[in-house]
Chains A and B, each alone.
Chain A
Amino acid sequence: MTKVLTYKVLYATLFVLTALVTVRCAKDEFPVDEDGLLITSRTSAYVGSFDLWSPTHQTVVVGTAAVDTVAQTINLQVQFGTDLTRLWPRFSLITDAKLEPKITGFVDFSDLENPKQWTVISGNRQVRKVYTVHVTVQQP
């Protein structure tokens, strides 16, 4: 009786181990893009919120930035005295989306006549939406 029980436990353990090894070794079939990011089935591509930081890592936006997902614009006002040449944009995007071009450092916003643009790309990498960031400076 004891021997039978021992064999049962042994077989059960062996089965669990084999299952684990099989699952662990299964080939990863999820695709990734050129940045190594997961390509999913999501088709949404929009900006949730936007902020601008100064080199001191403080926001320079007066109030909050107005994001229009239909017109694909972001309108915001920065504080008087903000150094527009060195600002760090901070986008909040829909799940799985990514931004182009990438933000890798401070961005020069001083050319107010030619607003900066970024493209939001959906999780399935099929939908691309160009957002334009319009900045105005608070005036006395």
Chain B
Amino acid sequence: MICKLLYKAAFILCTTAVVIGCKEEGYSVPVPKSGLQNDVIKKSVGPGLVGMDIEFMYAMAIQKSEGKLVSAKVEASIPGASETYLEHRSYHTDAVGNDIGVPVATPSVTNGAVTEVMFNVDTTATTLRYYYRPTPDAVDKDVSFTFTATSSNGQTATYEMGPYRIRRMEIASNLPVSNGNRCYISVEDMTVYNEIEAAAIPEKIDVLYLFRSIAGINFNHSLVAPAADAIYRPDITLPPGVNRNTKIQKAWNVRDIHLGANANGNNSYVYLDDEDFRTLDLRAAPNYAINMLAQSGIWVETADAKYRAYIYVNSINANGSAVIGIKRYRL
């Protein structure tokens, strides 16, 4: 008798649980928050470098019944370069994916560390892009940002972002090199010279680009120090004084996104950072790298131990030329 009662009670409990559990919740339209709202995301990833924009998206909105947007401004803790600006257009993509900008404000004005736009179109919600370009003054320092929006009802909304460390690394990308012509690479100057130019500044030439087709070996595209053994730099007479003994270590699968965009979604792309150069140990490295391939590179330490660098080979051509990029760290 007791068992029967227990079974019945359990059955009723289970049935009730199923009925309650399966009850569909009614949908209600979310009620937007009252007052001026704002939000920020940092779009650019990777370490911040001098001369390379850091991009943010600043979103702000107020209900139509409460007012409209009046102004938006960003204050950086360290003033940016003259290229720093806040977009005065609000972007959307059209049917074929084009980025379409709709002006909603006057072009931004920057005074010191503050960049501001004034809305000149009735706007209650928008997202503005902000591009901050670090200057050499920001190197090795943290930079923070205060985003502020104001609305016609007198409200102010702010959003803090950061801090972000601006790195010591410097970058020079897409430098064409060619055999017998622009083949003198200077890490000191972050550029490539021809023979006449190199002869004028021999103390600044750190690496030579050579292309040779030699029977029996794969010499092809090579990067060697001027002081390397002659067997590794055949058929070239260096200008007087071009004799630096640069440490060179071949690298493979180090594809830096700053030096070469990741066009095909390869997940081996990375951001080299200050820490990579600080911890780099080239004491046992040779002074040459033979048979370089596209998307390979070399780690470098200059003879005076003033710089460490990564020279990336973006592309090579069978006619004896290549495109390289340099990322440098001052020791």
Q: How far is the CB of A26 from chain B (nearest CB, A)?
A: 46
B2 CB-CB contact with A under 8 Å: no
B232 CB-CB contact with A under 8 Å: yes
A104 CB-CB contact with B under 8 Å: no
A100 CB-CB contact with B under 8 Å: no
Q: Say whether A58 contacts B252, CB under 8 Å.
A: yes
Which residues of chain B are within 8 angstroms of A54 by Cβ–Cβ distance? 250
- Bound form: Cα–Cα A85–B283 in Å: 12
A2 CB-CB contact with B under 8 Å: no
On chain B, the number of residues with a Cβ less than 8 Å from chain A's Cβ atoms is: 22
Residue of B nearest to A82 (CB): B290
Q: Say whether B250 contacts A80, CB under 8 Å.
A: no
Q: Which of A15-61 contact B (CB under 8 A)?
A: 54-58
B219 CB-CB contact with A under 8 Å: yes
B218 CB-CB contact with A under 8 Å: yes
Which residues of chain A are within 8 angstroms of B172 by Cβ–Cβ distance? none
A138 CB-CB contact with B under 8 Å: yes
Q: Say whether B252 contacts A57, CB under 8 Å.
A: yes
Q: Say whether B286 contacts A83, CB under 8 Å.
A: yes
A81 CB-CB contact with B under 8 Å: yes
- Bound form: Cα–Cα A58–B251 in Å: 10
Chain A proximity mask over B233-255: 1 for CB below 8 Å, otherwise 0: 01000000000000001111100
Which residues of chain B are within 8 angstroms of A138 by Cβ–Cβ distance? 216-217
Residue of A nearest to B224 (CB): A81
Residues of B in contact with A (beta carbons under 8 Å apart): 214-219, 222, 231-232, 234, 249-253, 284-286, 288-291
